[in-house]
Structure 1
């Protein structure tokens, strides 16, 4: 018998098994526009334009980052896929686009079919929450490149918006109001700093705090909230001028991305409840406030900017759809991107 691919560390049979196990999760995301089935060379999706007269496709791509290290340590892999979907679809909806479909890419040192199926289950759950179809993906076994029990995951989403309805922040003006949508936790950013703090003490992940209602590890693995359905429902009824997804760079980097030159976001501290996990992180690392707001979402995962007369309607609609929100500030003249007031 000659040397085989399996001898080199790649088990194609495990790949076949992984596909069989994930099929049931993937098919749950399909809608009437999906053509074909899992296993094709490409994902096919038929465009149903409805009343869209000037269709524009909006694409977003991202991964999960070093949050994966906590999933490895805790051996929990069924939610990390939702993080990947959320990071992509939340970006796409910032332009007013409705996500259509998603594709993922998973690379691992050793392909364990059951683990990959759990990862894809999380991806499928995220797609269902976002209202988009998981139409394809790729799983790569790369022995010697990744450690045997480790993996990386990335993906991309494609959405659609009518050109006249694109949201890009250009309509934002002085006096407009910032509405913050509550986050589910740390989401998927700042984990290089988080890991430095929680893994310094190897027992910290297992610590349980009454304010969290769970262990530190369980809190940190909570999946990123997906805002798509709530935001799209708001857009059907009210004019939103700018949307910022609060990811890497926190408030300080992301809100200015949707502000015209000469305007800044004036953020009112204390106008929303900062989640307990952020208070713990701040204490563990003796981290300054500005560094916290430049790294984490601080309890606000997305910011909508609208005219004052629309605020009550937007907040009420978000409440109806199950998205807690808060008026956290306003747009004023100035420079510097974001200013914080007491």
Structure 2
């Protein structure tokens, strides 16, 4: 049922870590026709800070208790990755529209279970947070590809490099919460972009990696820096490099090579258009992290989610995108851990 034009969508958010807090601020202040009505975190101090700073009327440390709040229309999931699937299923079963941060799941079977839950609730909007599709540069590249600017896209090359300065906080997080590893936690955005730009699913993958500066990552069965080579349908290709140890800042770069040209996004990860010239030469600062680089994309994706609810339609990013990206990410993880070429088995 289409909502009244003046209807505001009341949202409850779970997860108030670094990204969750940013989403909470966006929902509270930057999203039209939206009200952040409730927040939930296992850390009571995070709940109290959000209520105080953002003017949120309801705060919870129990997710299931928040789901019993009948003032809510939608649930926004920004909790650690391992909680996503169960929380999505619970929110759908309770009758809510649902937005979930990536990844959809850390295991294939649970991702498929969520897909079945979404299918069982066709009147509810479900959206997954692949925010790069809403970044204006990435969206423009997609428009150019569809317009035939580079012919048929045949290869996607992605660099996803997190700043080295973020490693201490990541290690603390990874030791207390299962992140899913380099390919499911970090490269999942690039894997989704490759599927999107190539219009094809993966068939085989070979992944390698190591922990050179931070060997403690090996104890977590993770890599500091890794790479994956993926064969897609139609002999299309993907090359993916991910790292948690980028000295110069946050570096996200994507190239799409076609039969009649190529597109590059973010070749130089500039903070802005300022160039400082001194005795070091010409210095261009880099973005410090994902919240800075994709600040507007995080807003735009949630604007689309709220619009979908108000206009009674479904977003272009579907639960199937989450399932297929999880399958590919998990195949990369298996290849990295076993050293073997892995066939990617897609399930409908």
The TM tier, using the shorter chain, reads: under 0.3
Larger of the two Rg values belongs to structure: 1
TM-score by length of 2: 0.24
TM-score by length of 1: 0.24
